[in-house]
């Protein structure tokens, strides 16, 4: 028994020492400063390195503001003509995500290669099958902007954007050609589309839009020109 006593004493001392050391480490972890822990997490996720913080709210507000957009684009889905619309949009934001839009454009018409080929080889006779072409477009739309966010473009600074859906009605001016003679006609049209704004500042943005139009075609059926435009938007000052 006398031989075992020193051994048991040493074992007990070791257990007590280990318990004290473990408790000290646990206490140190408990006392770790919360700010220091947050900084380590930021470094781990890359936010501290990039000097970019997460923003949840829109940085540029649109509610109760007016937007004026000068735009140009192309209507490429006509086999016989290419159209290059130039126009203006005016938007009134009665809420942050909702707006009414009034727009209008003039379509510059250019013959496609197929059109030139038919005219050169068949005179005007075959063009009876292509009786209608666009002159101008105008209408009123309702815009809903359900998506917004931020992107980085070739820099460590963030660029803010939002995306919108468009639904509307309007009128389309067309030229009707029959047997070599041209007359003007106005048709009721509907349209749907989507778009995106990239904000450069509080008053300035770039705007990309796609619109799909529908109107009754001359001779029956439904015409559906598709339009892609790029514009520069100017916003009025935000209300105080």
Residue 110, judged by CB atoms within 10 A of its CB (0-12, 13-18, 19+), counts as exposed
Distances (CA, A) of 54 to 60, 146, 202: 15, 19, 19
Highest mean pLDDT (candidates 35-44, 144-153, 167-176): 167-176
**∠ Cα 138 140 143 (to 5°):** 130
| pLDDT for 24 beyond 50 | no
What is the spatial distance between Cα 66 and Cα 68, in angstroms, rounded to a whole number?
A: 7
Which structure tokens are listed for 123? 């005179």
pTM for this prediction: 0.71
Q: In terms of DSSP bridges, do strands 181-199 and 222-223 run parallel, antiparallel, or are they unpaired? A: unpaired
Q: In terms of DSSP bridges, do strands 222-223 and 204-216 run parallel, antiparallel, or are they unpaired? A: antiparallel
Beta-carbon-side half-sphere exposure of residue 204 (alpha carbons within 13 Å): 2
Looking at residue 58, its pLDDT comes to: 75
Residue range 26-53: mean pLDDT, rounded: 54
3-state secondary structure of 31: coil
What is the spatial distance between Cα 58 and Cα 65, in angstroms, rounded to a whole number?
A: 15
Q: Which of 210, 218, 116 is nearest to 166 (CA)?
A: 210
Looking at residue 218, its pLDDT comes to: 83
Q: Which of 238, 65, 50 is nearest to 156 (CA)?
A: 50
What is the spatial distance between Cα 102 and Cα 82, in angstroms, rounded to a whole number?
A: 24
């Amino acid at each position: 028994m006398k031989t075992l006593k020193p051994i048991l004493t040493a074992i007990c001392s070791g257990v007590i020492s280990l318990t004290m050391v473990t408790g000290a480490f646990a206490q140190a972890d408990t006392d770790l400063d919360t700010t220091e822990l947050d900084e380590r997490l930021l470094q781990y996720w890359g936010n501290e390195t990039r000097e970019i913080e997460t923003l949840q709210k829109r940085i540029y507000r649109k509610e109760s503001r007016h937007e004026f957009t000068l735009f140009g684009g192309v209507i490429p889905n006509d086999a016989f003509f290419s159209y290059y619309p130039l126009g203006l949009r005016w938007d009134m934001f009665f809420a942050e995500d909702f707006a009414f839009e009034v727009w209008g454009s003039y379509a510059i018409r250019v013959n496609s290669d197929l059109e030139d080929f038919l005219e050169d080889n068949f005179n005007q006779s075959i063009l009876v099958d292509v009786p209608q072409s666009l002159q101008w477009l105008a209408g009123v739309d309702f815009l809903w902007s359900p998506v917004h966010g931020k992107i980085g473009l070739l820099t460590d600074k963030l660029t803010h954007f939002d995306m919108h859906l468009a639904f509307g009605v309007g009128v389309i001016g067309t030229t009707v050609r029959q047997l070599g003679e041209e007359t003007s006609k106005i048709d009721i049209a509907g349209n749907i589309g989507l778009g995106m704004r990239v904000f450069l500042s509080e008053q300035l943005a770039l705007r990309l839009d796609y619109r799909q139009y529908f109107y009754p075609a001359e001779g029956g059926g439904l015409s559906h020109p598709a339009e892609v435009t790029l514009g520069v938007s100017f916003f009025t000052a935000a209300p105080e």
